[in-house]
Structure 1
Amino acid sequence: MSATQEQPDDQAPRGIVSEIDRPVDFSQIAVLQNETGWDRLRTMFDLSSGFGPELELVKTGVGIGIVLGGLSGGLNYAKQAKMNYIRQNEANYYLKPKEAMREMQDKMALEFFRGGFKLGWRMGLFSGIYVLGTVSGLTYRNKFGIAEHVASGAVAGLLFKINLGVKGSLAGLVVGGLLGLVSGTTMCVGTKAFGVTVPEFRYWQHNYWMKEYNEKKAKWDKKRKKELSSAAEESQEQKAETT
């Protein structure tokens, strides 16, 4: 059997076919064919076995947003604290350099944590909303697209700037939507270039490959037992005829 042909259900299993060599269209696999968009979303938000692969992506996005936002906000606030201290304490900075340096470092550290917290949780929230909306959209539609990126980015941007009033919220909505457009376009191009699909991702990450393998193995075992039973009956009949 060539590597480009799918193994029939009634043949003995040849082991688990590798992800790279599997030639079939994942959306046509029996265990995935009858799923609806709501079925996929229910599976995504099923927490009976902990976070699934989709929610793990959301958790990772939140973590990255917190880290990047914390570092960005912390460094910016620390830099501003240094400049403000030098400007406000120029005499002490030169007359008592050691004390001034220690005091300045204390203020920079305090402002670093203050700025990191202030921007970190907001970036984490922005990233979480964006990734959750995007992953939910592609899971429901069962394909990578741009619309869910634009919508999620717009909502996240709106909430990120909501404290600035109507104008700030609208600006955040527009900027978030544009960022989502760029991100979605990049992802669509990348996934098409590498041949990655949502059904394929779900097939491997949700262990549907094991379900399919077990189903095929059960069919083969049933057929094999039937063949062995028929062979045993024929053997007994032949013995009876010879006697």
Structure 2
Amino acid sequence: MFFRSFTMWKTAVRLTPAFSVPIFTAQRNQHDQVLVNSADSIKPKTGWERVKQMYSRSEYEEISVELNTVLQSALSGAFVGGCLGGFVSSRVAYLDFIENNQATIFKSTANAKKRLQDYVTVAFARGAYKWGWRLCFFTGLFSLTATTVSVYRGDTSLIEYISAGALTGALYKINLGLPAVFVGAALGTVLSTAAGLAIIGLLKVTGLSMADIRKALYSVKVAREDQYNQVLEKAATIKNDELTQHHKDLIAETGEISIDDIE
């Protein structure tokens, strides 16, 4: 009996070497590397790889977390610039209309109010367009430059804010000549240094990092999209239920008609 069991075990070991090797050889070869499901094989190691991953889309054709932050910054700048430019321009237009039309004779009070409303509305639209796209462009450029430098370095410091401020200030004065470019770059450097110190100070106090903030903003975007999809799905379900119920009511009133009865 013992000899038969030993023979069966010997045969199993001989026929299944892949099963027997891990048991009797626990040591792994020094040249073996695990590349499947490894975080190190997916995570970029160099600065250029991180930047390339930042500007690449995911497998679901979605932008990266960093570009999502840049996009939100640009849209926020457009909104703030549009509001400020529109409010300031509409106020100036209102005062100009009152001052320039004191001796103007209108057909009626309603006509005067309509002319004033049209004048202020057009001024608001022009001011919102004038300052909206500018603040959107420069906010987006500043955020894109700072984020790219931060991703390349793998850290957050004053370097990305200074470089982004200098580039943005130089481009703002580029149409006024080379001296104005240097002045704009210097002014942008000073302002961005102050803003960078304030941001880094807040990060130190709160114990957060820019990566945490980017992930939080991205999670807000994902949650908003989920809520939007749920609302659409719920609306479609309610609409289909109403149509189905209406169809059932019609059938209950008229009765079912077979195909043979249809002429």
Give the shorter-chain TM-score range: 0.5 to 0.7
Q: Does 1:80 pair with 2:88?
A: no
Q: How many residues align?
A: 179
Deviations 1:115-163 (A, max 9, x none): 1111110100000110001111111111110111011012112222333
Among 121, 127, 141, the residue aligned to 1:109 = 121
Q: Is the 8 A contact 1:70 1:120 kept in 2?
A: yes
State the secondary structure of the residue aligned to 1:90: coil
The residue number in structure 2 matching 1:46 is 56
Distance in 1 of aligned mates of 2:84 and 2:217: 33
Amino acid at match of 1:195: G
Among 174, 181, 184, the residue aligned to 2:196 = 184
Q: Measure how far apart 1:61 and its partner are.
A: 0.7
Matches for 1:129-144 after TM superposition, within 5 Å? 129-144=141-156
Deviations 1:73-125 (A, max 9, x none): 11111111111111111123899543222211101100111111111101000
- Identify if the C-alpha distance between structure 1 residues 168 and 47 changes in structure 2 by more than 3 Å, giving closer, same or farther: same
Distance in 1 of aligned mates of 2:77 and 2:169: 14
Q: Is the 8 A contact 2:81 2:136 kept in 1?
A: yes
Q: Measure how far apart 1:171 and its partner are.
A: 3.6
Q: Quote the sequence identity (%).
A: 28
- Identify if the C-alpha distance between structure 1 residues 41 and 195 changes in structure 2 by more than 3 Å, giving closer, same or farther: same
TM-score under structure 2 length normalisation:
0.60
Distance in 2 of aligned mates of 1:176 and 1:44: 25
Among 73, 79, 83, the residue aligned to 1:61 = 73
TM-score under structure 1 length normalisation:
0.64
Distance in 2 of aligned mates of 1:82 and 1:99: 15
Q: Is the 8 A contact 1:122 1:160 kept in 2?
A: no
State the secondary structure of the residue aligned to 1:92: coil
- Identify if the C-alpha distance between structure 1 residues 203 and 115 changes in structure 2 by more than 3 Å, giving closer, same or farther: closer
The residue number in structure 1 matching 2:167 is 155
Q: Measure how far apart 1:46 and its partner are.
A: 0.7
Deviations 1:13-33 (A, max 9, x none): xxxxxxxxxxxxxxxx95798
Q: Measure how far apart 1:194 and its partner are.
A: 2.5
Q: Measure how far apart 1:205 and its partner are.
A: 9.6
Instruction: Please tell me whether Structure 1 or Structure 2 has the larger radius of gyration of its CA atoms.
Output: 2
- Identify if the C-alpha distance between structure 1 residues 106 and 171 changes in structure 2 by more than 3 Å, giving closer, same or farther: farther
Structure 1 unaligned blocks of 5 or more = 1-28, 207-243
Q: RMSD in angstroms over aligned alpha carbons?
A: 3.1
